[in-house]
Structure 1
Amino acid sequence: MRFKFSQVSLSKLAITAALAFFCVALILGLHRHYTFYSSYDQGIFNQVFWNNLHGRFFESSLSSQLSTNVVHQGEVPRVDYHRLGQHFTPALLLWLPLYALFPTPATLTVLQVTFVTVAGLVLYVLAREYLEPPLAGMITVSFYCANAVIGPTLSNFHDISQIPLLVFGLLLAMEKRCWWLFWVLAVLLLAVREDAGIGLFGVGVYLILSRRYPRIGLVVCSLSFGYIILLTNLVMPLFSEDISQRFMMERFGQYASGDEASTLEIIWGMVSNPGRVLVELVTPFGRTLNYLLGQWLPLAFVPAISPASWMIAGFPLLKLFLGKGESVLAINIRYAMTVVPGLFYGAILWWSKHQDLYKRSLFRYFWIFCITLTLIFSYTSSASALNRAFYFMLPDSFDPWVHISLPQQWNHVQAMRPLVAQIPPDASVSATTYIIPHLSSRREIIRLPDLRLRNDQQEVINVDYMIADLWRLKQYQVAFDQERGLLKSLVSLIDQVTAKQEYGIIGFEDGVILLQKGVDSNSEAMGKWLVFRKQLVNRLS
């Protein structure tokens, strides 16, 4: 049964929730970026957009630094490396005109928050196809409060942030029987990235098993599966070997017999070894269960008993559960967002048959408690997530104590900005992770401690500038081994290049060092560096 209530009075809840989410997420996201807490992926996507704007489509020296040629074969990063070999993301071109108006990394943060905010409003309209306004509004509030939504939204820009909007739009088009829009959105969803078809495949399975539109479901399943196989086995290898030599092995190498594998070989490895698949599916049991509970929590665990949720979200979940690595079961990073649309649509369908339950005040209070709890988890998990949007409120480590206060970070940023501004916009540069986004609107940029790259003339060069935020590493190294190791290697690198007079120190403020190739060191900057270096050596020894 479908309800046809007026949306005028009720849309206030959805609009209020959307405005609150947009304002809070945008403030936190922009604050995170401008205080130098956005990191490598933000730089990658900004460089991709910047290169697209200049006609060098999907090229990125930062992506090249992560490619199998560099990581496994020891090659030098190159500026003409096509990122489409790592992730096939033509849908990003849709937003290029907006980026052209405001060509900065902060624009990507605004885009991401906007995608997710609009997705929540489309979800509300979708829910109103079945539910009374208060219940539809509550589902919308649940969406904006979900850990799997908040965490990825406050992180670096990522292509997956487009998926909830496109899937909710596609499902709404299906409900309205607007098939031309359905197919347009299906194609756009496939264009988001190479694995977005897994979610679309789940929609097709739902259309078949629910018997609503089985023929369309068969076409959707065939289209999505065929697209994934064709893209990952024939198209993406034209750009690089990353899909078979790096990404498949890093995520699904346990199903392969060699050092590389195609998607077809991984699928066959799963089919031919069901015992391993079963083990991977349920282990580690505690983390797998916690992940599911975290995804269900904002909806008061309704998706756990909704068949439609399992049909649609089951395939993105299967991809995560069968993979390996810490990130696959982390609910506050981008991969978790692929599961969200199916869970929420399934919850809508379940509530369409149980709306009387919502009239019970005890259940409403329980649902509000669940939403409050997921907000708390979103806050407390931010320190361990990639976003660190609440770094100024929540310590990164309690033992040993690591906490950067807001005045402390802003003072540090004020000291850092003049050094960043000294680097010409067309110069090649190597920087530490959290400076990279602010310098990524250029052709030649890599991450320290690497100094070499291959330019457009196919010459291997040393970068013109090095800039490193050693102060930040100094704060975090007491609790994190990765920062400690990087700090040691950078001190050694600076000693090496200055001793050989390959680079000179031309600026040093508040633990941030700037070096330029082929110049003599500034005596004042060198003096500051030596004092800081002595303090570091005492701490690192």
Structure 2
Amino acid sequence: MASPTVSDSDDLTPGVVDDTAPAPVDTRAGDNLRVDRRIAARLQLSSWQAPWVVALATFVITAALYIVYAVRRYERLGFTGWDLGIFTQAVKAYSRFEAPMVPLEGTDINLMGDHFQPWIALIGPLYRLFPSPITLLVVQALLFAVAAVPIVRLATKQLGAVIGVLVAIAYGLAWGVAHALAFDFHEIALAVPLMAFSLVALVEQRWRAALLYALPLVFCKEDLGLTVVVLAGVVALRCGPRTYRWAAGTAVWGLVWTALAAKVIVPAFSSADYSYGSKFAESPAEGVRELVLGFAAGDARASTAFMLLVITVFLAVRSPIALVAIPTIAWRFWSTNHLYWSDDYHYDAILMPVMFVAMIDALMTLRRRGSSRRVLTGFAAGAAVIAVVLTAGGPLHRLAERDFYTPATAAQAVAALEEQIPAGESVAATNNIAPQLVADHEVTLFPRLDRDRSIPQWIMVDTNTYGMFPTSQQGVRDALSKIENGREYREVGERDGVVLLERR
């Protein structure tokens, strides 16, 4: 009888070993070893890839959400001339290699006299290919989404995929980002990813990269030079004496550019009656006094401070990274302009990377001190839940509403009436419809600003507008009545409350 082999061993009596049979030769042993090595290599590669997979997936998802939200909001007249129209006019000028003159702010107004933001000239070539305000909105959405990449990669690499996903949710739905998306386009769009990459490099002890990423912040807005100074100080604090010389040089860079921008460049381009310097307390002591009284009374500054901390489950205060937020918070809270205090608008977008990187840094510290994975995951889950809850009452909740995807009546009216206006001619328009016109026309604001000396060929007014700038709905209607009762313009079209007038 033939000796049994491995394949027919079931024919043997259970429990009895055939000592006379030759030992079976497993010809698959070498193959199995090679397979095991390949699996191990794949597992090791997957471990290296996981942070990037989660981070890039976050980028794709958030970019899609942000772009859809921004484009739909634009198509429903959700943006305004101040500020989307203004920045579109500036980028349009840059695309033609011209000075960034912005008629929406007034006659002969150069945007460089408003804030120091030369980087937006980089959008010029893209705008030349796609001449529309949507170009600016898409650029901003992509930049905000790019900021998620280093933040989520850091969380996933240091704390695991589960926490990485939770951080992705928390940042992706962060109220500071959402409000910036809802309020037009602004110069801080580039600063958000620069801040994220810089602070993540700092946490990873890549101090040279941290400082290099911080350098261009000075070209995003004049006050960010002070943020660069504080960031350089935190680099020196975290990374030790070897960084002192480079950190000091970076701090000087930030100070010099802030001084040049605030004292030389912006004043050189600004009009005599327009200055941000008048929007601050008369003295530091007065500013501190007003700040303390405001916090005690629970004004908008207290609310904003609470909102900045609650999104990180108050963990951000456990990390020195949070110090980088101080300059932005300080100038806003010191200002006498109440709009700066609010947690609306775009002012908090630059702080979102600071708060979330600080939170991750705090979680890493807790892990080193022995906190369990359950505790760490609980904190991250708390941040994600808070972000979701705040989203329900924030701008991004519109993505879940059906009417957000239906055409807006007023937008259709504007598009239909615009067909009567020859390309390139001047138009005065209400704030809410100005962005729809800036790509093809020279647009000024209606009712006219004091700084505006232009005489537009056309006037387009949405009588349904309820915005507060430059005047109320009643103010718009009163100004329109005054024009209609005069002899300078005649009405040539009206649709769904949108009126078009032509100069006689």
Hey, what does 2:58 align to over in structure 1? 17
Q: Give the equivalent residue in structure 1 for 2:386.
A: 373
Contact between 1:313 and 1:340, CA under 8 Å: does it hold in 2? no
AA of the residue aligned to 2:492:
I
Q: How does 1:396-407 map to 2 (within 5 A)?
A: none
User: Tell me, which stretches of 5 or more residues in structure 1 are unaligned?
Assistant: 64-76, 256-268, 383-387, 395-404, 455-459, 519-541
Preserved CA contact (<8 Å) 2:115 2:221: yes
For 2:497, the aligned partner's letter is G
Please tell me the residue identity of whatever aligns with 1:332.
D
Larger radius of gyration: 2
CA-to-partner distance for each residue in 1:210-241, whole Å, 9 max, x for gaps?
Answer: 35323322222222122211221122211125
The answer to whether residue 111 in structure 2 is matched with residue 83 in structure 1 is: yes
Match of 1:312 among 324, 338, 343: 324
Match of 2:27 in 1: none
Structure 1 residue 280 corresponds to structure 2 residue 273: no
Match of 1:429, SS state, is strand
Separation in structure 2 between the aligned mates of residue 463 and residue 439 of structure 1, nearest angstrom: 13
> 1:95-146: CA deviations, max 9, x gaps?
2222222111011111111001111012233446644444344333321121
**1:360 matched to 2:374:** yes
Q: How does 1:52-451 map to 2 (within 5 A)?
A: 52-63=94-105, 77-78=106-107, 80-127=108-155, 130-173=158-201, 175=204, 177=206, 179=208, 184-212=212-240, 213-241=243-271, 245-250=274-279, 252=280, 254-255=281-282, 269-270=283-284, 273=285, 276-280=287-291, 283-285=294-296, 286=298, 287-309=300-322, 311-355=323-367, 357=371, 359-360=373-374, 364-365=377-378, 367-382=380-395, 390=398, 410-441=408-439, 444-450=442-448
- The percent identity for this pair of structures is 20
Which residue does 1:469 correspond to in 2? 462
SS at match of 1:375: helix
The equivalent residue for 1:496 is 482
Partners of 2:63 and 2:197 in 1: CA distance? 19
Contact 1:312–1:343 under 8 Å retained in 2:
no
AA matched with 2:84: Q
Aligned residue type for 1:360: R
1-side partners of 2:265 and 2:437: how far apart?
Answer: 31
| Aligned-partner Cα distance in 2 for 1:340–1:485 | 32
SS across alignment from 2:460 = strand
Question: Alignment RMSD, CA only?
Answer: 3.1
**Cα separation, partners in 2 of 1:59 and 1:184, compared to 1, 3 Å:** farther
CA spacing shift, 1:512–1:358, aligned 2, 3 Å: farther
Q: How far did residue 442 of structure 1 move?
A: 5.0
Q: Aligned in 2, Cα 1:462/1:483: closer, same or farther, shift over 3 Å?
A: closer
Q: Which residue of 1 aligns with 2:21?
A: none
Letter of the 2:474 partner, please give it.
K
Number of residue pairs the alignment of both structures matches: 453
The answer to whether the 8 A contact 1:432-1:467 is kept is yes
Instruction: List structure 1 runs of 4+ shifted beyond 6 angstroms.
Output: 451-454
Distance between the aligned counterparts of 1:217 and 1:449, measured in 2?
49
Distance 1:346 1:281, change over 3 A: farther
State the partner residue of 1:264.
Answer: none
Shift of 1:411: 3.2
How far did residue 23 of structure 1 move? 1.7
On the 8 A contact 1:118/1:165 being kept in 2, the answer is yes
AA partner of residue 53 (structure 1): S
- For 1:194 and 1:505, the matched residues in 2 are separated by 44
CA contact (8 A) 1:199 1:312 kept: yes
- Unaligned segments of structure 2, at least 5 residues: 1-44
CA distance in 2, matches of 1:443, 1:36: 17
* TM-score, normalised relative to structure 1: 0.75
Instruction: Report the CA distance shift for 1:292/1:485 in structure 2 as closer, same or farther (over 3 A).
Output: closer
1:145·1:298 contact (CA, 8 Å) conserved in 2?
A: no
Map of 2:42 onto structure 1: none
Cα distance change of structure 1 residues 209 and 511 upon mapping to structure 2, 3 Å threshold: same
Change (3 A) 1:241 1:429: closer
Cα 1:429–1:193 shift into 2, 3 Å: same
With structure 2 as the length reference, what TM-score do the two structures score? 0.81
* Shift in CA distance, 451/320, structure 1 to aligned 2, threshold 3 Å: closer
Please give the alpha-carbon distance, in whole angstroms, between the structure 2 residues aligned to 1:340 and 1:331: 12
Decide whether aligned partners of structure 1 residues 341 and 389 sit closer, same or farther in structure 2, where only a CA change above 3 A counts.
same
Distance 1:392 1:499 in 2: 45
Check the 8 A contact 2:137/2:184 in 1, yes or no.
yes
Amino acid at match of 1:155: F
CA spacing shift, 1:485–1:336, aligned 2, 3 Å: closer
Note if contact 2:54-2:156 (Cα within 8 Å) is conserved in structure 1.
no
Q: What's the CA shift for 1:307? A: 2.9
1:157, distance to aligned residue in structure 2 (A): 0.8
- Give the C-alpha shift of residue 433 in structure 1: 0.9
Residues of 2 paired with 1:128 and 1:165: CA distance?
18
The DSSP-based 3-state class of the residue aligned with 1:507 is strand
- Aligned pair in 2 of structure 1 residues 223, 332: CA closer, same or farther (>3 Å)? same
Tell me how far apart the structure 2 counterparts of residues 279 and 485 of structure 1 sit (CA, whole Å): 28
The answer as to whether partners of 1:160 and 1:192 remain within 8 angstroms in 2 is yes
**How far off its partner does 1:300 sit?**
2.0
